[in-house]
């Protein structure tokens, strides 16, 4: 695998690459204090623990399909449900509304991310936000391997993680949110995408330089 495809913020739900440190890139997108937070694919709960430590969250609930990771997450989070993300919303035992719903490296793993995002609107507070990170299939090494080498090979992690069911470009990410009733407030490339490239080269090739995008979105028509 091209090492430049790898990044500390991309991992599979099999937990081969489970989070051991907080997602500071995601945490830093969450502003406010005392927020009610739901972390989908919360792994061991380290992101939620960091939000609570900072005072950004009054509590964090999580959803984690891996039972071992979920058990660790329960040390940090208020509630942790061990289930598939396909079944999370609307669900009678999910105690919304939430001010922030985190979908960090999860939307590409579900069969119908459009339905999931649509369903999440029902448990999002009036001023709530979705905070997401999503891989960019237009990343330069994916395009090079496909166009020049004739290869589209799944890997254990990265853009072509073998557990990814859906693939998005920046335009596709925008369409995903807009078509499910959201207005995007922020969409920015993740900084580790420039690993191996200098800043000038990254600017020249644009979206091809970015392995992943970070997104903040609110339900359309809400402040």
209 by DSSP, 3-state: which?
Answer: helix
The whole-model pTM stands at 0.86
Residue 63 makes CB contacts below 8 A (sequence gap 6+) with 38, 39, 40, 41, 42, 80, 81, 83, 85, 88
pLDDT over 50 (residue 33): yes
Residue with the two structure tokens 């039972």: 67
Residue 75: pLDDT above 80?
Answer: yes
In this prediction, residue 22 carries a pLDDT of 83
- Is a pLDDT exceeding 90 seen at residue 204? no
Upper half-sphere CA count for residue 115 (Cβ side, 13 Å)? 9
Domain count for the chain, please give it.
Answer: 1
pLDDT mean over 204-215? 86
Quick check: 141 pLDDT over 70? yes
Which range is least confidently modeled, 25-39, 46-60, 83-97, 150-164? 83-97
- CATH number of domain containing 176: 3.40.50.150
- Cα–Cα distances (Å) from 41 to 63, 107, 166, in that order, read 5, 10, 16
Average pLDDT, stretch 27-36?
96
196: confidence class by pLDDT, cuts 50, 70, 90: low
Structure tokens at 97: 């509304």
CA–CA gap between residue 54 and residue 151 (Å, rounded): 44
CA distance 67 to 87: 16
Strands (DSSP E) found in 70-139:
79-81, 98-104, 124-135
Q: Which of 135, 143, 171, 187 is nearest to 7 (CA)?
A: 135
Distance of CA 10 to the CA centre of its chain: 9
pLDDT band at 190 (very low <50, low <70, confident <90, very high): confident
Q: Is the dihedral of CA 25, 30, 34, 37 positive or negative?
A: negative
The residue segments making up the domain with residue 90 are 3-219
- Given a cut of 90, is residue 183 above it in pLDDT? yes
For 9, list phi and psi in degrees, rounded to 5. -105, 10
Name the percent of the chain in helix, strand, coil, to the closest 5: 30, 25, 45
The phi and psi torsions of 78 (rounded to 5 degrees) equal: -70, -55
């Amino acid at each position: 695998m091209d090492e430049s495809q790898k990044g500390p913020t991309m991992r599979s739900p099999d937990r081969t690459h489970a989070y051991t440190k907080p997602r500071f890139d995601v945490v830093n997108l969450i502003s406010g204090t005392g927020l009610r937070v739901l972390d989908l694919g919360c792994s061991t709960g380290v992101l939620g623990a960091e939000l609570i430590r900072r005072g950004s969250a009054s509590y964090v609930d999580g959803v984690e399909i891996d039972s071992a990771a979920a058990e660790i997450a329960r040390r940090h989070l208020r509630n942790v449900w061990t289930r598939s993300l396909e079944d999370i919303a609307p669900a009678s035992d999910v105690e919304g509304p939430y001010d922030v719903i985190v979908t960090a490296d999860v939307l590409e793993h579900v069969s119908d991310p459009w339905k999931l995002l649509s369903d999440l609107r029902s448990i999002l507070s009036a001023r709530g936000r979705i905070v997401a990170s999503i891989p960019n299939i237009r990343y330069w090494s994916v395009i090079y391997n496909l166009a020049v080498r004739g290869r589209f090979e799944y890997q254990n992690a990265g853009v072509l993680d073998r557990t990814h069911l859906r693939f998005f470009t920046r335009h596709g990410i925008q369409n995903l949110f807009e078509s499910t009733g959201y207005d995007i407030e922020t969409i920015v490339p993740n900084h580790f995408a420039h690993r191996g490239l200098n800043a000038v080269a990254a600017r020249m090739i644009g979206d091809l330089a970015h392995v992943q995008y970070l997104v903040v979105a609110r339900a359309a028509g809400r402040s």
